[in-house]
Chain A
């Protein structure tokens, strides 16, 4: 205590200066409206900035849930799009019953296993029969077509990804409408090949490739990729088109599974016709 008092006595000049200066500045801030407003707003900036960075951090921790909700919302919104309904342009429907017209249903699912480095790549989803998934359903992500559901269990399902040489997807050129089969050659996960486009079609680099809508698995006009390279060999009647896939298979988290309640009806009808 004595040394403390000695310290104060020794430095009384500096301590007194600090005290008086603080009193003066306190007066400045308390009695001058401009300085008060600046002081208050800057301290609000400090606290506001603190809250802001806190919520940024908390938001980051919530990303998982937010992503899931957004994916679900996307799926719901997609199922409300006009393309999801049986086209009503062809006929008039006096009683508009949206349920009976729903053609495609989208369900969000999470990718829990994925590969892109094999010749036969499969994706595993965290949803299965209990969630309304069935085999032969199309799978897309927000960026484009991913694959087709192959096997299904109660809670999981496996998907043949486009990066699988056993899968062929019916695709068309968005601009001209010529359609062909999209195949992966098993080498680069970013590129696939579109075959069966006739040589009289007008194909340019950069043209969009979308699903044809002929397969009862995918609705039409879902993005697959764009034309990266066009080759026309001498004597061949088909283009060899290299397609840059729009989906990044190295970075796939949430996908949507497309249900098609009227599929069976369509297939039955097609079979009947073929067997005739």
Chain B
């Protein structure tokens, strides 16, 4: 467990930097924003205790908030995502449960499983994030459209990044 620590610390800072320096500057047609940093929460080990999961989610969301001047919005969305993660994992568990020593990544459980699992969490995150940002139900459908578009974009980025980490894992 403790051996994961350097890897996740690196993950955390790498994803934060990519998010703040690159992805936050991308805005397709004004409303499509990819939020890759949620990958950090998605790929945390299965054994991560609940309280740590929530605190890490708050920390990562809060960091993004500090850099993008959206105090609390990313934090609330990421914490919500972390909250539903254990339930999603339980629902998606394979027949013989998760093997010890594995991580919830594409390289261990396959493309189909990972994309379905990530899609639900990303969708939950984006849903909360965009509706907290709009903070009203008057633009309900335009916000929903933004959610779907951004979810699609984020999922593409997550898929690409998983391809890279797959190569890294094989190399080990």
* B51 adjacent to A16 (CB under 8 Å): yes
A54 at the interface (CB under 8 A from B): no
Q: Is A126 close to B, CB under 8 A?
A: no
In the complex, what residues of B have CB within 8 A of residue A20's CB? 54-55, 57-58, 75, 79
CA of A173 to CA of B86, assembled, Å = 87
Interface pair B76/A13, CB less than 8 Å apart: no
Tell me the residues in window 35-89 of chain A with beta carbons closer than 8 Å to chain B beta carbons.
Answer: 35, 38-39
For A27, the chain B residues whose CB sits under 8 A away are 65, 71-72, 75-76
The reply to whether B71 and A31 form a contact with Cβ atoms under 8 Å apart is: yes
Known A16-B50, A24-B58; contact A32-B70, beta-carbon cutoff 8 A: yes
Report if A17 contacts B (CB, 8 A): yes
Query: Does more than half of chain B's interface fall in helix, strand or loop, or is it mixed?
Result: helix
Answer yes or no: B34 CB below 8 A from chain A CBs.
Answer: no
- The complex places the Cα of A25 from the Cα of B131 at a distance, in Å, of 12
Q: Across the two chains, which residue of chain B brings its CB closest to A22?
A: B76
User: Which residue of chain B lies nearest to A27 when distances are taken between CB atoms in the complex?
Assistant: B72
Q: A42: nearest residue on chain B (CB-CB)?
A: B136
Interface pair B50/A24, CB less than 8 Å apart? no
Q: Are A17 and B54 in contact (CB under 8 A)?
A: yes
In the assembled complex, the Cα of A38 lies from the Cα of B136 at a distance in Å of 8
Q: Assess A24 versus B76: contact at CB under 8 Å? Given A13-B86, A34-B135.
A: yes
Task: Name the CB-closest residue of B to A13.
Answer: B50
Contacting pair B61 A24 (CB below 8 A)? yes
Q: Is the CB of B79 within 8 A of A17?
A: yes
| Minimal Cβ-Cβ distance residue in B for A18 | B83
The docked-state distance in angstroms from the alpha carbon of A24 to that of B70 is 11
B73 within 8 A of A: yes
Q: Are B65 and A17 in contact (CB under 8 A)?
A: no
Question: What are the residues of chain B within 8 A of A38 when measuring CB–CB?
Answer: 135-136
Which residues of chain B are within 8 angstroms of A30 by Cβ–Cβ distance?
71-72
Interface size on A, residues (CB 8 A): 21
Number of contacting residues on B, CB 8 A? 23
A21 at the interface (CB under 8 A from B): yes
A232 near B: Cβ within 8 Å? no
Bound Cα distance A21, B82 (Å): 11
Q: Does A28 contact B (CB under 8 A)?
A: yes
> A38 to B73, alpha carbons, bound, how many Å?
15
| Cross-chain contact B76 with A12 (CB below 8 angstroms) | no
Chain A residues, Cβ within 8 Å of B55 = 20
* Among A12, A23, A39, contact of B50 (Cβ-Cβ < 8 Å): A12
Q: Which residues from 134 to 161 on chain B have a C-beta closer than 8 Å to any C-beta of chain A?
A: 135-136
Does A13 contact B72, Cβ atoms closer than 8 Å?
no
**Contact bitstring B59-90, A, C-beta under 8 A = 1, else 0:** 00110010000111101100110110010000
Q: Is the CB of B135 within 8 A of A13?
A: no
B residues in contact with A14, CB < 8 Å:
83
A230 on interface, CB distance cutoff 8 Å: no
Contact (Cβ within 8 A) B83 A26: no
Chain A residues with Cβ below 8 Å from B9 are none
- Whether B79 contacts A32 by the Cβ 8 Å rule is no
Interchain CA distance A29-B80 in the complex, whole Å? 17
Q: Is the CB of B72 within 8 A of A28?
A: yes
Q: Is there an interface contact between B54 and A16, defined as CB atoms closer than 8 Å?
A: yes
A26 with B54: in contact, given A20-B79, A34-B135, A38-B135 (CB under 8 Å)? no
Q: Which residue of A lies closest to B73 (CB)?
A: A28
* Further pairs besides A16-B50, A20-B79, A27-B72: 11, Cβ < 8 Å: A13-B51, A13-B54, A20-B55, A21-B80, A24-B61, A24-B72, A27-B65, A28-B72, A28-B135, A32-B72, A39-B135
Residue numbers of A with Cβ under 8 A of B are: 12-14, 16-17, 20-21, 23-32, 34-35, 38-39
Could you pull out 24 A-B pairs where Cβ atoms are within 8 angstroms?
A12-B50, A12-B51, A13-B51, A16-B51, A16-B54, A17-B54, A17-B80, A17-B82, A20-B57, A20-B75, A21-B80, A23-B58, A24-B75, A27-B71, A27-B75, A28-B71, A28-B76, A28-B132, A28-B135, A30-B71, A31-B72, A32-B70, A32-B73, A39-B135
